[in-house]
Structure 1
């Protein structure tokens, strides 16, 4: 039964009149009751009644949820904003390349997070063929969950890239568009995620083909293509590869040139983004060219890091270990 403040006020008034006819003790009790009733009436009018809907909504919104420290200062749960874009980086690897994967995994794990972007790094290879692979790769998956195993025989230029791109729509079929961009990258390429993200953030989300155009001195040549060090396709091109006859019927050949051929023949990838000179090959004892030069501060990606020395040189140049804290547990001379 609800609280009837009108009835209470009326009853209190009647008691006050009766109190005028009774002894003083009764009068004191009556006055106290009147004051109590008046206080309750004021509470209804000025505190509970104006806010009853707001209080009810706050309780309802929190019902069934676990209290958190943030709820002490706000009754509204913070909403995680949608990222500006989502990028999948697929690094083509080999099942036995454990050491290289661990190095590359550490390189990307140590890079600071990129604001307002989702970037997923995955290692991509074909079916496992040895028992030790099944054990060791399974351990990697359990620890890092960053491996894609394609249903194909391991190869470099005999359809692996086609299988990678064409398999993604079915693999990632969860409704909606899982990524805005998909990259194919080599495991000897170092991408600096912050600069990569900034270069992608305002680019077209449709019909986009991004990378280092080859030949770089004549990128308008009819047979140009993006270097295999790492190139990006918008998601609509990935879906097209998964269903079109041109890629399915022409899989064999240098994978980066083959990709360029698919797009030219189908008149796709018209939004070409050439990232020369901030994507390039590492220079060491080789002639400098338009796509091979010294390390530069605004590098987005550097390729041909074929050994640990080259990786260490590049990582030192870009201050990858600047966050190392001093400790008595190690001596770094």
Structure 2
């Protein structure tokens, strides 16, 4: 066989092999086969081809490795009390049935040291079952530093060499009478900075300027670097007593922090009844509804947002 003929057949073989690999790629996309497994197969097949074919394999591998997850990581700390067992179980239903795309949202229940024998048993069982409780080293209080202890403890708890840094891009302090719609929360955060951010519902209610006062305790969020600053700075450590959400705003002002601020009003608001300057009717663009103080208000809110719409049909139950 003439050398030119052998060269021509070699090129045909290479083209045929590449066409076969492309066919496998198409098949994988149809059947949702993991692409990394396909790459291993492709590298194996290409290893027997002439050297010029290895460039294509390297380019495919590099393209695969260059894609990285841009998931937002959010920690929501719901400040509550050890004895609020039923409320925690209820909220686990509320947040356990929400799965926002492109985000890792961890909801933790936060309270101070246990003081009773029944708490030590029942809370320990909750931790064993759900692993969603943070017990702070403090005495339960409303306006004497619980919020400070929460934020200042987070870097020590979560910063670690065996997890990404920051472990969370954002940390939220929330109330246990607030309903958070996680998908809307995540969507509102996507375009925002991940450093020096202070996010929430501006107080007083008529105000729309997040740089004047502070964010309502229904639920406000800061970036991870602010949690680290709270741990390290003397400013919050020396100013603990008073209405905690207002005091938090004072820290931001006195420390010249939170240059990036976002007012989520009116996607965050109080329950419509009784009507006040902080309320309005429920609407689809909601991020948070506050002051759900009883079961009727919770049920009214959950029905409005049709939270059971994804209930799968089954012979095991019938719910009209």
What's the TM-score once normalised by structure 2's chain length? 0.78
Quote the Cα distance in structure 1 between the aligned partners of 2:262 and 2:210: 15
Shift of 1:211: 0.2
| Aligned match of 2:169 | 180
Gapped regions of structure 2 (runs ≥ 5):
1-5, 15-32, 42-60
- Candidates 84, 89, 106, aligned match of 1:102: 89
Quote the Cα distance in structure 2 between the aligned partners of 1:242 and 1:134: 28
| Aligned match of 1:19 | none
Quote the Cα distance in structure 1 between the aligned partners of 2:236 and 2:103: 30
Residue pair 1:223, 1:261 contacting (<8 A) in 2 also = no
Q: Deviations over 1:89-119 (max 9, x none)?
A: 11111111111011111111111x2222221
Name which of structure 1's ranges 150-159 and 321-330 shifts more when overlaid on structure 2: 321-330
1:75 aligns with 2:40: yes
Shift of 1:142: 1.1
| Aligned match of 1:217 | 206
| Aligned match of 2:250 | 261
Q: Deviations over 1:159-184 (max 9, x none)?
A: 11000000011111204321111100
Residue pair 2:200, 2:262 contacting (<8 A) in 1 also = yes
Name which of structure 1's ranges 214-223 and 253-262 shifts more when overlaid on structure 2: 214-223
Gapped regions of structure 1 (runs ≥ 5):
1-41, 51-68
| Aligned match of 1:204 | 193
| Aligned match of 2:222 | 233
What's the TM-score once normalised by structure 1's chain length? 0.75
Shift of 1:255: 1.1
- Candidates 263, 288, 300, aligned match of 2:276: 288
Shift of 1:75: 1.2
Say what the alpha-carbon RMSD is for the aligned residues: 2.7
Structure 1 counterpart SS, 2:88: helix
Shift of 1:325: 3.2
1:163 aligns with 2:149: yes
Quote the Cα distance in structure 1 between the aligned partners of 2:249 and 2:151: 14
Shift of 1:251: 0.9
Quote the Cα distance in structure 2 between the aligned partners of 1:123 and 1:196: 19
| Aligned match of 1:307 | 294
Q: 1:239 to 1:332 in 2, by over 3 A?
A: same
1:332 aligns with 2:308: no
